[in-house]
Amino acid sequence: MAVAQDLITLKEASQWASNFLCRDINESNISYLIQYGKVKKYGNDGSTLIKVNDLKNYYSVNGKREIDWKKKLGSDLNWSLSFDNLRESDTTKHVHRLHPYKGKFIPQLVEYFIDDHIDSFKKSVFFKKTDIILDPFAGSGTTLVQANELGINSIGIDVSRFNCMIAETKLLDYDLVSLENEAKNINQAISNYESVENISAFEKDLMLNLSSFNNSYFPSPEYKYKIFQKQIDENKFALEKEKEFLKIYNDLVKKYNVKLNNFSSKNFLDMWYIKNIREEINFAFDQVRKIKDIKNKKIFAVILSRTIRSCRATTHSDLATLKEPQTTTYYCWKHKKICKPLFSIKGWFERYAFDTLSRLNTFKRLKTDAFSLIIPADSRTIDLFKEVKKRNQKFSELFQKNKIKGIFSSPPYVGQIDYHEQHAYAYDLFGFKRQDELEIGPLYKGQGLEAQKSYVDGISNVLINCKKNLANDFDIFLVANDKYNLYPIIAEKSGLKIVEQFKRPVLNRTERDKSPYSEIIFHLKSHS
């Protein structure tokens, strides 16, 4: 293929980019660039063609990103841990995307350190099949899922009951035929349910107007490409068109007499959901409670939770961190067009139910018979062997014989996330007991000196308690953004020493702030 060729196909583009960057770039990577306006699409007969110069310009600029980031974050930045060649579908593979979870690491990072087939670690194999690995801050279960896939036994502990349910449902063994039948029945019941008159007609009319407006003023991917090329002042244009469509929206709300919100702050569900959605949630939860099989009931509870998270009255950009209820149309910085609040859970529940079935089916083919155990508890005080024995006798026998080979975990960062609050909708709906006071380093405590001291004590106490159950030659890996340099203190207080550090760039962040950001993987061993 000649580089001088003006227009090339996706296949040719992937070959050219692979040669240019000296690493594998597939057709999906190129399609991603077109979808998000990084390069322009040509071809009007159904074919997709790209200009070589567009690709060269894009990769020449982004090829410099490693150099620029190292200038800002330090030359010790390990770019191989950026996983910048991966698509979102790779980093959210199979069950890792069963439910959103703020603050989780990508599965490839776990694989990099615990998989004994990773080339970079042929000289240093830390974990092998039949070992036991512990995650004392299990979160949504990323470490446990990857450990199971690799045939490594695992234990996860978390103070959040809902976090434990997310992790547990990823690792349960299901009768997928039964699960699919259940999905069809529940989805049919929800689809047939009508709580508010005119809501369907209102949404249909709104969508027609919205589609016409967006096609006229925000055609994709042309509009994104113009923004990328700085041919449009996005702020000015977006505000102008947002106001223009808002008039159309308000007229439709009046026409169909739509009730937007209960405007009650007595609980999360009443504050953050439009009236019709609130009533559909109650109906859907009634259907879930009728399920007899406990495993099926748990996974459908997670599906419903994922659904109602997406249906909160907020902008798409603010889904991770809520600001205020959004009950009107708005310019969406994520999707680069006018978006609307949601008025029904029906489409989302169906989408997530069958997406979940597909992901469980994919993981079933990879799943091993390694033990996986999730325990809702405080890692500072748990009697781990006692809890394992209470739940699984065979696992406890292996535990007693071999002990735990090590830890791979991402502890909470100081003052960044309130882990219970991020799933407030689920705690409200399911009635789980919240234990916010047991969180280490929560957002509500801030990042001051007192918060830092409390954080050091909390993480140290976790490590001291967990060490009781570790094998003699253990390895501990902790992923942290240690901007206050607390981990050397934590290591000393815990009777550990930091033997190695891996500083990685964190790419593909969801926040609008895309400034260079890094985290460190601390490798710790016994001080003695």
> Per-residue pLDDT for the chain (528 aa), expressed as one digit of tens each?
444 458 899 899 989 988 887 777 878 778 878 876 778 888 877 788 999 988 888 887 766 777 788 888 888 888 878 887 777 888 899 999 999 999 888 999 999 898 865 444 334 678 999 899 999 999 999 999 999 999 999 999 999 999 999 999 999 999 999 999 999 999 999 999 988 778 889 999 999 999 999 999 999 899 999 998 899 999 999 999 999 999 999 999 999 998 887 666 678 888 899 989 999 999 999 999 999 999 999 999 999 999 999 999 999 888 877 888 899 999 999 899 999 999 999 999 999 999 999 999 999 999 999 999 999 999 999 999 999 999 999 999 999 999 999 999 999 999 999 999 999 999 999 999 999 999 999 999 999 999 999 999 999 999 999 999 999 999 999 999 999 999 999 999 999 999 999 999 887 554 445 567 789 999 999 987
**Has residue 184 been placed in a domain?**
yes
Q: Token pair of 359, please?
A: 């992901």
For 480: left if phi > 0, alpha if psi spans -120 to 50, otherwise beta; the answer is: beta
**Has residue 1 been placed in a domain?**
no
Q: How confident is the model at residue 147, as a pLDDT? A: 97
Same domain, 197 and 83: no
Same domain, 353 and 384: no
Same domain, 451 and 316: no
Is the omega angle on the peptide bond into residue 412 within 30 degrees of 0, that is, cis?
A: no
Same domain, 142 and 235: no
Residue 136's nearest CA partner among 407, 494, 517 is 407
Torsion of CA 44, 49, 53, 58, to 10 degrees: 110
Domain boundary among 359, 391, 412: 359
Q: How confident is the model at residue 373, as a pLDDT? A: 98
Domain boundary among 325, 359, 393: 359
Domain boundary among 331, 359, 387: 359
Q: What is the DSSP letter of 86?
A: -
**Has residue 57 been placed in a domain?**
yes
**Has residue 236 been placed in a domain?**
yes
Same domain, 204 and 302: yes
Same domain, 431 and 457: yes
The answer to whether 227 and 336 have CB atoms below 8 angstroms apart is yes
E strand or H helix that includes residue 89: helix 88-91
Q: Could you tell me the pTM of the whole model?
A: 0.85
Provide the β-strand partners of residue 522.
Answer: 478, 501
How far is it, in rounded angstroms, from Cα 479 to Cα 413? 9
Q: How confident is the model at residue 344, as a pLDDT? A: 93
**Has residue 2 been placed in a domain?**
no
**Has residue 455 been placed in a domain?**
yes
The answer to whether 415 and 445 have CB atoms below 8 angstroms apart is yes
Output b/e per residue, 497-507; b: 16+ Cβ within 10 A. ebeeebbbbeb
Same domain, 409 and 519: yes
Q: How confident is the model at residue 508, as a pLDDT? A: 59
**Has residue 449 been placed in a domain?**
yes
Structure-token match 């599965």, residue found: 107
Q: How confident is the model at residue 63, as a pLDDT? A: 66
Same domain, 482 and 337: no
How far is it, in rounded angstroms, from Cα 171 to Cα 152? 13
Q: How confident is the model at residue 121, as a pLDDT? A: 39
Q: How confident is the model at residue 226, as a pLDDT? A: 92
Residue 148's nearest CA partner among 173, 165, 123 is 173
Q: How confident is the model at residue 372, as a pLDDT? A: 97
Q: How confident is the model at residue 2, as a pLDDT? A: 41
Same domain, 117 and 141: yes
Burial class (CB within 10 angstroms; exposed 0-12, middle 13-18, buried 19+) of 79: middle
Q: How confident is the model at residue 123, as a pLDDT? A: 43
Domain tally, the chain: 3
Same domain, 331 and 428: no
Same domain, 223 and 351: yes
Q: How confident is the model at residue 27, as a pLDDT? A: 82
The CATH number covering residue 378 comes to 3.40.50.150
How far is it, in rounded angstroms, from Cα 115 to Cα 125? 8
Torsion of CA 342, 346, 348, 353, to 10 degrees: 160
End-to-end CA distance of the chain: 60
Domain span at residue 119? 68-173+367-526
Kindly report the backbone phi and psi dihedral angles of residue 2, in degrees, each rounded to the nearest multiple of 5, phi listed first. Answer: -80, 130
**Has residue 310 been placed in a domain?**
yes
Same domain, 511 and 428: yes
